[in-house]
Structure 1
Amino acid sequence: MSKGKRSHQRDGRGREDGPVAPQPLELLPPLLAPRGRTVSGSGCDESPGPRLMPALLIKMINKSRGKILGVLALFLVMVWYSIYREDSFYFPVQENKTVCPIGEVERKAAQLIGNYTRDRPLFLQLKDFFWVRTPSLYELPYGTKGSEDVLLRLLSITSYSLPESIQSLKCRRCVVVGNGHRLRNSSMGDTINTYDVVIRLNNAPVHGYEQDVGSKTTMRLFYPESAHFDPQVENNPDTLLVLVPFKPMDFQWMEAILNDKKRVRKGFWKQPPLIWDANPEQVRILNPYYMEVTAAKLLSLPMKQPRKVKQKPTTGLLAITLALHFCDLVHIAGFGYPDSANKKQTIHYYEQITLKSMAASEHNISHEAVAIKRMLELGLLKNLTYF
């Protein structure tokens, strides 16, 4: 064997055990073949490149036409969906932190609510009844007429002030968290926790639902029948527990609970808690003025109604009214009911009751939906979920 030549021994199958030879041109995939050649099983035939590429492209497009049309249709649906629901989703919190529309809510609320003023206190104070004792024009829930005696006793053991941490805010960014099914699987919890003031309603739970509803509670509006049996579990230690009085018995229930007197058992449509572990310093009595504004100005309800046909605002709409008189920015989440034709859709994020349960209530939810939509249109509110 001459010098410079390498010997390659073959194995029993005729293969060489030496270096691997370059792959023949015939084995290259067609698209990797040299430009201007067409690869066939028998060899390489010269053919012009410009003729091959358009044919291959047309063939690929024909094969993928269904996929391309599907992707295009999906893209168009996503564009339509984002435009249709543009105002329904969360507005970035960072934007709210940098720009505070001070005065805007007041200005727009005055367009909607006649004789709008922020001079009225949020909560009832003892001095307003003991020293001034201005007679109220209406009975509960729109006034305190006829309930002054029990109210005086109740106000002597509760408070009326707002925490300094809220009073000192230059911009009060508030969110009113409804109890609607729309909050389920919404992942809105972290967003809700970023607001300065988080207002919750009735006995809606937080524990176990933090990912969707958050964990922060600044105020919780409730009445005896909707009070949670253990307020320490579902609220923060500094949460203001705001009693919404609908009837004189509500004052009597709260007084008996806080003074550990004999419990009031009659006069409620549902048995309220007989043991309710709450700190009296955290309890507030909502000023019935805000119930009056909600009913008369937002729902156009008469203050005096026949006993058999009484309609009252929901706690949710009342909470929105309160926020409009107190906050510089108001967002809502979890509001809205299922369509009336949807009999099986649950109305709350935490329980399985349906719209049927509202049939016997004194609330006109369709009327309230119109009022909330009107406020959304005016820019008084912005919605974090959809309505």
Structure 2
Amino acid sequence: MTLKATKTWFLRLLPVVLFFICYYCSQFYFESSGGKSPHPTLALCPNYRLQKKWENLNLNMSRKPELFLKLEDFFWKDHLSAEALPYGIKGSELLLLKVLAAISSFTMPANIESLDCRTCAVIGNGFALKNSSLGEIINKYDVVIRLNDAPVRGFEEDVGNKTTLRLFYPESASYNPGIHNDPDTLLVLVPFKQQDLRWLKEILYDEKRVQKGFWKPPPQIWLGRASQIRVLDPYFLRITARKFLQIPVQPRKQQKAVHPTTGLLAVFVALNYCDVVHVAGFGYPASRNQNQPIHYYGQQTMKSMKNSYHDLNQEAQILHRLEEQGVILYLHPHS
């Protein structure tokens, strides 16, 4: 073969070679990031991908996409609970029935329920979000889950302004949910104790408020609309505690109670409901740095977490493991 012929053959083959190089490089990136792109697109989220990752968690259970308690569930004996709050409803049935009778029986919005592939962003409250400029990206997800009373207004450039679900408990409830939520945001109560259900019942039925039993006074007037309110099934907190944190069913006496953070709970909720789960704003500074701010808003530092009922180191390890397995993907650099 002449030099000229060899050169012609090489030039014709070059585009094919470049195509395969680009293809395999993209496949490597795709798989190394857990099969997900930082931008939610239908092309990257077929259902089997998360299902395969879910199976790798070895939880020995199926995903549970029904997130909220419904009134009709409690007319059947097979829904009886063996545990009290926060991991079951034993002893709180009557309170719960009154609450569920006053709120909407609908689950998630129909336009989200009907999606073949649901992309979720779970937005923590961590300092990592400050000056992140992630707002536009966060707003593109089908479902945006936020936590407690984390503000949106004034922080839109970093955290976006779309909120599909906001998980909260009475002490973390904002007096006027309309300020930092969309009009159709679902306000999802996470009941940790019987007083949490009683608080909501008193709000819904405009009864006399009982202020005892809270570590911080919750709002006595709360402007959440009944049609927006949901009650998270304690199943999710129970499995987060038992399977992720390995909290014993019967903790020893004198042993300090440990519960999952709302953030880790929200990640587990998203893993059950969504086909793509990306997270942002998770992680705390090193515990030795007591003066480091922990939120993208406000002035709280690690000192405020000193007596918390959370195992932050273990939760960090769990999130790291989920990331390594490709089950979740962070939207920003993190340690």
TM-score by length of 1: 0.75
CA distance in 1, matches of 2:306, 2:241: 19
Structure-2 change in CA distance of 1:126 and 1:113 (3 Å): farther
Partner of 2:113: 167
Partner of 1:344: 291
Partner of 1:149: 94
Could you give the per-residue CA deviations for residues 217-251 of structure 1, whole angstroms, max 9, x where no partner exists? 00000000011111011100100000000000000
Structure 2 residue 150 is matched with structure 1 residue 204: yes
Partner of 1:309: 256
Partner of 2:270: 323
1:361 aligns to what SS in structure 2? coil
**Could you tell me how far 1:107 is from its partner in structure 2?**
2.1
CA distance in 1, matches of 2:333, 2:60: 30
**Could you tell me how far 1:188 is from its partner in structure 2?**
0.4
Equivalent residues of 1:91, 1:384 under 8 A apart: no
Q: Which amino acid in structure 1 is aligned with residue 243 of structure 2?
A: K
Equivalent residues of 1:292, 1:303 under 8 A apart: no
Q: Which amino acid in structure 2 is aligned with residue 212 of structure 1?
A: D
**Could you tell me how far 1:116 is from its partner in structure 2?**
2.1
Partner of 1:38: none
Equivalent residues of 1:106, 1:324 under 8 A apart: no
**Could you tell me how far 1:339 is from its partner in structure 2?**
1.0
CA distance in 1, matches of 2:58, 2:269: 13
Q: Which amino acid in structure 1 is aligned with residue 54 of structure 2?
A: A
1:371 aligns to what SS in structure 2? helix
Partner of 1:188: 134
Structure 2 residue 187 is matched with structure 1 residue 235: no
**Could you tell me how far 1:386 is from its partner in structure 2?**
2.9
Structure 2 residue 238 is matched with structure 1 residue 292: yes
CA distance in 2, matches of 1:179, 1:186: 13
Could you give the per-residue CA deviations for residues 277-299 of structure 1, whole angstroms, max 9, x where no partner exists? 01101100000000011001111
Partner of 2:103: 158
Count of aligned residue pairs for this structure pair: 301
CA distance in 2, matches of 1:223, 1:386: 30
Equivalent residues of 1:189, 1:214 under 8 A apart: yes
Equivalent residues of 2:104, 2:226 under 8 A apart: yes
Equivalent residues of 2:184, 2:228 under 8 A apart: yes
Higher relative contact order, structure no. (Cα contacts within 8 Å, ≥ 6 residues apart): 2
Structure 2 residue 327 is matched with structure 1 residue 380: yes
Q: Which amino acid in structure 2 is aligned with residue 361 of structure 1?
A: S
Equivalent residues of 2:127, 2:295 under 8 A apart: yes
Could you give the per-residue CA deviations for residues 41-64 of structure 1, whole angstroms, max 9, x where no partner exists? xxxxxxxxxxxxxxxxxxxxxxxx
CA distance in 1, matches of 2:294, 2:177: 23
2:200 aligns to what SS in structure 1? helix
Equivalent residues of 2:86, 2:192 under 8 A apart: yes
**Could you tell me how far 1:108 is from its partner in structure 2?**
1.4
Partner of 1:135: 80
Partner of 1:104: 49
CA distance in 2, matches of 1:272, 1:362: 19
CA distance in 1, matches of 2:182, 2:79: 35
Structure-2 change in CA distance of 1:357 and 1:194 (3 Å): same
Partner of 2:60: 115
2:79 aligns to what SS in structure 1? coil
RMSD: 1.9
CA distance in 1, matches of 2:61, 2:52: 9
**Could you tell me how far 1:118 is from its partner in structure 2?**
2.6
Segments of 5+ residues of structure 2 without an aligned counterpart are 1-31
Equivalent residues of 2:164, 2:185 under 8 A apart: yes
CA distance in 2, matches of 1:174, 1:194: 9
Percent identity between matched residues is 51
**Could you tell me how far 1:119 is from its partner in structure 2?**
4.2
CA distance in 2, matches of 1:121, 1:240: 14
Q: Which amino acid in structure 2 is aligned with residue 207 of structure 1?
A: R
Larger radius of gyration: 1
**Could you tell me how far 1:117 is from its partner in structure 2?**
1.4
CA distance in 1, matches of 2:305, 2:46: 37
**Could you tell me how far 1:111 is from its partner in structure 2?**
2.2
TM-score by length of 2: 0.86
Segments of 5+ residues of structure 1 without an aligned counterpart are 1-85
Structure 2 residue 201 is matched with structure 1 residue 255: yes
